[in-house]
Amino acid sequence: MSFLKIIEEYQDFNIDAFFDRVTEAGVRRAIGQDRLSAMDYLTLLSPRAESCLEEMAQKAHRLTVQHFGRTMLLFTPIYTANYCVNRCLYCSFNAGNKLHRTKLTPKEVSAEAEIIAATGLKHILLLTGESRQHTPVSYIKDCVRLLKRRFTSISIEIYPLNREEYSELSEAGVDGLTLYQETYDRDAYACLHPSGPKRDYIYRLDAPERGCRGGMRSVNIGALLGLSRWRREAFLTGLHADYLQSSYPDVEISISPPRMRPHLGGFQPAVNVTDTNLVQYVTAFRLFMPRSGITLSTREPAGLRNNMTKLGVTKMSGGTSTAVGGRSNGSEAGQFSIADERSVEEMANMLYRQGYQPVFKDWQAV
Amino acid sequence: MPDTLKIGGRELTSRLFLGTGKFAGNKLISGVVNASGVQVITVAVRRVDTSFAEENILTYIPEDCILMPNTSGARNAKEAVRIARLARAAGCGNWIKIEVISDNRYLLPDNHETIKATEMLSAEGFIVLPYMSPDLMDARRLADAGAAAVMPLGAPIGTNRGLRTGELIRILIEEIPLPIIVDAGIGRPSEAAEAMEMGAAAVLVNTAIATADDPVAMGRAFGMAVAAGRMAYLSGPGAVQQCASASSPLTGFLSQEGCNELS
Ligand code: SF4
């Protein structure tokens, strides 16, 4: 089975007609459920539910404290290459953009890792563009070998792999996989990915599942908000998470709600996703999946991240650079521009001020 | 004679064990320990970071407490065993709470894998305290596998729902010749007292203390409740009466001479 089957079940589902029928009483009933159904979740994503946002936020906060405590896991990305054969319209690394292409040598990976490790972080997310020529799986494995010396948890956010390759990386020490579908809307997906292997919607859709089968401990999915109608994207992301969690109960499934950020190229978001929308999405998802992780990255500005600490988020990045070797040479262009430039120490202090314990280490490869 | 709990060659006067993963600040831990009298603290090995003293949770565990590392994050017996060995290598002593969870939706323990890990680790000389779903046959297997105590859940982790599995735990208390420590689910001091009144050897509390508005005061409340429940258990509480004892509607005729035959 593939999550595609569930997407197809909702192909002709009229979401607007459903939203038209949602009443405030229906929203309150959904908030009050112990275990929400898919339709309860969709009810909480409706425009009508906006008037109950405070109630949703309070329950989201309560559930998160109950299951995760007042803690926040901190991590940071390390970009090791920006070669890419795809032309995703929303990304600076798009093969059509004029950009200095580079990849870190082992020595450079170590130098960058050393700078990050000095901040105390133990969880790292390794990113590259899609280029089997410049950054094949063997290159990723070499990077992992170096990162393992300083970090206890290594996740990857790279091109989709086959199951054997995920197993290979898992055995090499990768315990987490982040892979965003970008958009679940197939028409929008086709327009946004005009060429390159990423055009294959289904191969990408099934990649998180292959990661689960390949031995990943944690799998993080999401849609890039701004590419298509966000309520539908949020709904399908939730269903995707639910599907994976039911099929692979021993894997920690989590989501990210990344919003579009400025990047090289002229593409503008098709949909404006406001702060209110983002809060509605995150709190609705927390009520739908009380024990799943939610990551909020530096795509969001400092003030909003501070305020969202208590709204269901369990993981935040800090001390971020989205450029290859951005911490050691600082001159390259990033994948997108970040909105929260705070260092790890500043993030930790913000969390302490809010009565939260920053967690630097929450896994150790065994 | 003082009432002590003996586990792994240690004698404990406090029967409240403390979990640590959810505190709003690791600095709160010593305050809770002082207020509650806790002597055993469990820490997830996954959180131990010996390279970073300031953020290392072990830095905040008082020295006179017994450290009971746990295998949180283990999905099978093999991972639990590896985590336990890591803990010992990191100088965390030889107590180990086995937690094997292969279900992330409810976080229910995997008894089968837990039994396997218990067997392997007790053979390696660990003092093994396995966390389990209360099941008599599995508890017997854990005892046979060398567990030093058995830790059944009162309700799923983090739910604060209380002693939902009370009847099953009662059976373990009656049948298993090891200390039964109720772990997970206890949300209020009254529920901890109830577990102790039933004859539990101890209770382990995490979420209810760590996420209280005032964890130190809540720790003290739990310490008192556990001691009170234990005292009540030792005092032999009177049997629960179903009806007022003065009347004996069915057997009263036996004591009324001359009236014991229908005429
Ligand atoms: S989003 Fe990824 S695949 Fe697409 S252009 Fe950017 S780096 Fe390449």
What tokens were used for A206? 């099934």
Ligand 1 atom at minimum distance from A196 CA? 3
Residue-wise pLDDT for A111-147, tens only, equals 999 999 999 999 999 999 999 999 999 999 999 999 9
Answer whether A69 sits within 8 Å of B82, measured CB to CB. no
Report the alpha-carbon distance of residue A258 to residue B219 in Å, rounded.
39
The SS3 call for residue B121 is helix
Distance from CA of A150 to the nearest CA of B (A): 10
8 Å CB contact between A216 and A177: yes
Please say whether the beta carbons of A27 and A39 come within 8 A.
Answer: no
Distance of alpha carbon A175 from alpha carbon A194, whole angstroms: 32
Domain range annotation of chain B: 5-262
Spell out the residues 6+ positions from residue B53 whose beta carbon is closer than 8 angstroms to its own: B59
A107, with CB counted inside 10 A (0-12, 13-18, 19+), is exposed
The band of B250, judged by pLDDT with boundaries at 50, 70 and 90, is: confident
What atom of ligand 1 comes closest to residue A129's alpha carbon?
7
For an interface test with A, the pick among B18, B54, B55 (most A C-beta atoms closer than 10 Å) comes out as: B55
Helices (H) and strands (E) in chain A, counts: 15, 9
Question: Which of B55, B107, B211 is closest, CB to CB, to A69?
Answer: B211
Residue of B nearest to A61 (CA): B211
pLDDT of residue B160: 77
Ligand 1 atom index nearest CA of A87? 5
Tell me what the mean pLDDT of segment A67-91 comes to: 93
pLDDT (average), residues B80-97: 93
Query: Residue A311: what pLDDT?
Result: 94
Q: What are phi and psi of B11, to 5 degrees?
A: -110, 125
Among protein residues, the one whose CA lies closest to atom 4 of ligand 1: A88
Q: Are A33 and A281 in contact (CB under 8 A)?
A: no
Query: Which residues in B lie closer than 8 A to residue A246 (C-beta atoms)?
Result: 105
- Indicate the residue of B22, B83, B101 with minimum beta-carbon distance to A70: B22
Is the sign of the CA dihedral A344, A345, A351, A357 positive or negative? positive
Percent of chain A with pLDDT strictly greater than 70: 98
- Asked if B90 has any chain A CB less than 8 Å from its own CB, the reply is no
- Mention every residue, 6+ apart, whose C-beta is less than 8 A from residue A28: A52, A55
The alpha-helical segments, DSSP class H, found in A148-252 are: 163-172, 186-192, 201-205, 207-213, 230-247
Give the contacts of B235 (CB within 8 A, at least 6 positions apart).
Answer: none
| pLDDT band of B263, cuts 50, 70, 90 | very low
Atom of ligand 1 nearest to the CA of A159: 3
Question: What length does chain B have?
Answer: 263
Phi-psi region of B162 (alpha: psi -120 to 50; beta: other; left: phi over 0): left
The domain B5-262 having CATH identifier 1.10.10.10: the answer here is: no
**CB distance from B25 to chain A under 8 Å?**
yes
Chain B CB within 8 Å of residue A213 CB: no
Q: Counting beta carbons within 10 angstroms of the beta carbon of residue A302, is it exposed (0 to 12), middle (13 to 18) or buried (19 or more)? A: middle
Percent of chain B with pLDDT over 70: 92
pLDDT digits (tens, 9 = 90+) for B193-248: 999 999 999 999 999 999 999 999 999 999 999 999 999 999 886 665 555 566 66
Contact B24 A69 (CB under 8 A): yes
At which residue do the structure tokens 């290594």 appear? A154
In chain A, positions 217-276, which contact chain B (CB-CB < 8 Å)? 217, 245-246, 249-253
Question: Residue holding tokens 């102790």?
Answer: B196
pLDDT tens-digit readout, A213-247: 999 999 999 999 999 999 999 999 999 999 999 99
- Record the tokens describing residue B15, joined without a space: 């029967």
Ligand 1 proximal residues by C-beta, below 6 Å: A 84, 86, 88, 91, 93-94, 129-130, 198
Residue A334, CA distances (Å) to A74, B239, B254, B255 in order:
21, 73, 95, 95
Nearest CA to ligand 1 atom 5: A94
Any A CB within 8 A of B133 CB: no
Distances (CA, A) of B190 to A183, A338, B53, B197, B204: 50, 49, 37, 10, 14
Strands, sheet with B16-19, edge to edge from the N-terminal-most edge strand: B151-152, B127-132, B95-98, B66-70, B40-44, B16-19, B202-205, B181-183
Q: What local confidence, expressed as pLDDT, does residue A336 receive?
A: 74
- Nearest by CB to B210, which of A69, A251, A356? A69
B46 touches chain A (CB under 8 A): yes
Are residues B52 and A355, on separate chains, in Cβ contact within 8 Å? no
Residue type at B219? G
- pLDDT tens digit sequence for B157-168: 777 788 889 999
> How many angstroms separate the CA atoms of A188 and A160, rounded?
19
A357–B24: do the CB atoms touch at under 8 Å?
Answer: yes
Report the C-alpha gap between B226 and B191 in whole angstroms. 9
Q: What's the pLDDT score for residue B241?
A: 57
Q: What are phi and psi of A35, to 5 degrees?
A: -125, 115
**pLDDT at residue A337, as a whole number:** 76
User: Residue A96 pLDDT more than 50?
Assistant: yes
Q: Whose CA is nearest to atom 7 of ligand 1?
A: A129
Cβ–Cβ below 8 Å for A245 and B104:
yes
- Give me the pLDDT at residue B238, please: 66
Over range B76-99, report the average pLDDT.
93
Nearest CA in chain A to B102: A250
Catalytic sites of B, residue numbers: 97
Pairing of strands B66-70, A153-157: unpaired
HSE-CB of A307 using CA atoms within 13 angstroms: 11
For the segment A148-192, what is each residue's pLDDT rounded down to a tens digit? 999 999 999 999 999 999 999 999 999 999 999 999 999 999 999
CB B87 within 8 A of CB B45: yes
Q: Do B104 and A250 touch (CB under 8 A)?
A: yes
ipTM: 0.81
Helix or strand or coil: residue A127?
strand
Give CA–CA dist A59/A31, Å, rounded. 8
To which H or E segment does residue A80 belong? Answer: none
Q: What is the pLDDT of residue B245?
A: 60
Amino acid identity at A353: R
Kindly report the nearest CA distance between residue B226 and chain A, in angstroms: 22
Nearest CA-CA distance, residue B104 and chain A, Å = 5
List helix spans (H) across chain A. Answer: 3-9, 15-21, 24-32, 38-44, 53-68, 106-117, 137-147, 163-172, 186-192, 201-205, 207-213, 230-247, 275-288, 302-308, 344-353
The Cα A350–Cα A342 span in angstroms is 10
Residue B254 pLDDT level (bands cut at 50, 70, 90): confident
The percentage of chain B sitting over the pLDDT mark of 90, rounded to a whole number, equals 62
Chain center to CA of A160: 15
Rounded to 5°, angle at Cα A310 from A181 and A51: 80
Give the span between the Cα atoms of B226 and B220, in whole angstroms. Answer: 10
Nearest CA among A340, A218, A221, A233 for reference residue A281? A233
User: Looking at residues B23-30, what average pLDDT do you find?
Assistant: 85
Q: What is the DSSP letter of B246?
A: T
Nearest CA in chain A to B25: A357
Pocket test for ligand 1, best of A83, A84, A332 (most atoms within 8 A of CB): A84
- Name the residue at shortest CA distance from atom 2 of ligand 1: A129
The per-residue pLDDT for range B31-56, each reduced to its tens digit, is 999 899 999 999 999 988 888 777 78
Residue A319's pLDDT is what?
A: 86
Q: Is it the case that residue A193 has pLDDT exceeding 90?
A: yes
What pTM does this model have?
A: 0.90
Does residue A330 register a pLDDT over 50? yes
Angle, vertex CA A299, rays to CA A223 and CA A285, nearest 5: 45
Identify from B18, B47, B78 which residue to disrupt to test chain A contact, counting A C-beta atoms within 10 A and taking the largest count.
Answer: B47
What is the structure's pLDDT at A132?
95
Tell me what pLDDT residue A332 has. 65
How far is A168 from A214, CA to CA, in rounded Å? 8
Establish how many alpha carbons lie within 13 A of residue B67's alpha carbon, considering only the half-sphere containing its beta carbon: 22
Other Cβ atoms within 10 Å of A137 Cβ, number: 18
How confident is the model at residue A56, as a pLDDT? 96
Asked whether A223 and A255 are in contact (CB, 8 A), the reply is no
Instruction: Write out the H or E segment, with its range, that includes residue A155.
Output: strand A153-157
Distance (Å, whole) CA A294 – CA A136: 29
Alpha helix positions (H), A49-200: 53-68, 106-117, 137-147, 163-172, 186-192
